Amino acid sequence: MKRSSQLPSSLLLALALSSAAAQEAPAPPAAAPAPPPAAAPEDPNLAALKQQNAQLAAERERLTSENAIAKERLAAELAARRAVLERATLKAEEDKALVASEFEVARQKADRDMAALRLENEKLLLESAIAKNKAEMRLSELRLQETESRTEITRLATLIEQREKELAASQYAEAKPAYPIHPLEGKTLVISDRRISLNGPIMTSTADEVSDRIAYFNNKAPALPIFIVIDNSPGGSVMAGYKILKAMQGSEAPVYVVVKSFAASMAACIATLADQSFAYPNAVILHHQISSGSFGNLTQQKESIQETEEWWQRLAGPIAAKMGISTEDFIKKMYGKASTGDWSEFADKAVDLKWVDHIVDEIRETAQLKHPDLAAKPAPALIPLRSATLSGSVPYLTEALDDKGRPCMYLPRPNPKDVYYLFNPDGYYRLP
């Protein structure tokens, strides 16, 4: 046993393998027993050889036994190792199967998760598409509503514009100005848009405006009459008035003067010396001597009086000549009519004096084609108030308080030769 333990592992492995092969291989058929040898004298060498053979056989048997034991041990060891290996293999296979199973489970779970994610993605995409479609539909609805709203707004704007245009058009007359060569039709005077207003004090600017318009109307149509319409004028500068007279006299087109309310002094001179003049019966015409103030020494004052006298002759001379009297008689009649020398007559009386040529009952303003309310109205004049309860200024025709705290309304100062004709029992209406 001690010797067999010292055999190399490779030999033991070979022996084990050969033993296993021997065990696995079929055993050869047993040989037939040999016939017993014939007795012969035993040779010592042969005996030693036999003894040696017997020893070798014994040794072989021992070795065979030890080999068999080693083989058994090797087989047992190999079986144990095989069992271990098989168990390891089985364990590995089991682990592999478990891993594969777990992997398959994980894969299936991943597939399920992916499928769920795909479904969720498809759901989200579908929901997104639905939401997008809904948004587009809503946007389309909003655009449709906006289009309808814009259409309605456009329709309303068009309607409003049309109404405004109709309203604006209604503020204008569809007629056209009349341009008769002979504007007086019985007691009716027809005035065209060749019309020049002459109101208020006559100043240099007034003369420029009137002269420029006379020139314009002459350049436009020299055969049609021009109308200078005086509503209310107290007269003014002799130089400015003379410029107007010369523009009238130099006009190729006839220049007619129309007095509606009041023409005094230079305005009366313009009306009297016109080609033809027209007036309402109750219009007032007033003539008087020109007046001026002088300063300086006596020589300068005499020179100023001479210049004033010259102006008077140049203006009053033609008027007196038209009346058929001298300038001196004209002056006498002025002071014979009024101590102040302010000779005023209503137009229906002034026509006899040749201050006015024609009396009319109606004046047709054919150029008045725009509603008067469309014209800008001047701001009302302000008057100072002397009141303990209200200080400052207020416009005319605005209720205020007097110095005793009583309500009142101040009237504008009337024009010369004009008076108020109103019912005022409690003194509510007052003059400043």
The per-residue pLDDT string of the chain (432 residues; one tens digit each, 9 = 90 and over) reads 444 444 455 555 555 555 544 454 454 555 555 566 555 566 777 778 878 877 887 887 888 888 888 888 887 887 777 777 888 888 878 878 787 788 888 888 888 888 888 888 888 888 888 888 888 888 888 888 888 888 899 898 988 988 888 887 777 777 899 999 999 999 999 999 999 999 999 999 999 999 999 999 999 999 999 999 999 999 999 999 999 999 999 999 999 999 999 999 999 999 999 999 999 999 999 999 987 656 667 777 777 778 888 888 999 999 999 999 999 999 999 999 999 999 999 999 999 999 999 999 999 999 887 777 777 766 666 666 554 344 556 677 788 888 888 888 888 878 777 777 787 888 898 887
3-state secondary structure at position 382:
strand
Contact 278, 338 (CB under 8 A): no
DSSP per-residue letters across 194-226:
-EEE--S-B-HHHHHHHHHHHHHHHHH-TTS-E
Separation between Cα atoms, residue 308 and residue 320, nearest integer Å: 17
Per-residue model confidence (pLDDT) at position 42: 63
Per-residue model confidence (pLDDT) at position 295: 67
Which pair of structure tokens corresponds to residue 366? 């054919």
Of the candidates 104, 123, 124, which has an alpha carbon nearest to the alpha carbon of residue 112? 104
Per-residue model confidence (pLDDT) at position 389: 42
3-state secondary structure at position 199:
coil
Q: Tell the burial category of 121 from Cβ atoms under 10 Å away from its Cβ (0-12, 13-18, 19+).
A: exposed
DSSP per-residue letters across 104-166:
HHHHHHHHHHHHHHHHHHHHHHHHHHHHHHHHHHHHHHHHHHHHHHHHHHHHHHHHHHHHHHH
Residue written as tokens 């592992």? 9
Which pair of structure tokens corresponds to residue 150? 């814009």
DSSP per-residue letters across 4-65:
HHTS-HHHHHHHHHHHHHHHHSPPPPPPPPPPPPPP-PPPHHHHHHHHHHHHHHHHHHHHHH
Per-residue model confidence (pLDDT) at position 5: 45
Contact 246, 274 (CB under 8 A): no
pTM here is 0.61
Question: Any bridge partners for residue 39, and if so which?
Answer: none
Per-residue model confidence (pLDDT) at position 351: 96
Per-residue model confidence (pLDDT) at position 325: 95
Per-residue model confidence (pLDDT) at position 25: 46
Contact 388, 400 (CB under 8 A): no
Q: Tell the burial category of 311 from Cβ atoms under 10 Å away from its Cβ (0-12, 13-18, 19+).
A: middle
Separation between Cα atoms, residue 414 and residue 267, nearest integer Å: 18
Per-residue model confidence (pLDDT) at position 99: 78
Which pair of structure tokens corresponds to residue 374? 């469309």
Per-residue model confidence (pLDDT) at position 346: 96
Which pair of structure tokens corresponds to residue 413? 């100062």
Of the candidates 264, 289, 229, which has an alpha carbon nearest to the alpha carbon of residue 344? 264
Of the candidates 262, 397, 255, which has an alpha carbon nearest to the alpha carbon of residue 342? 262
3-state secondary structure at position 239:
helix
Per-residue model confidence (pLDDT) at position 128: 87
Per-residue model confidence (pLDDT) at position 392: 57
Handedness of CA 160, 162, 163, 164 (dihedral sign): positive
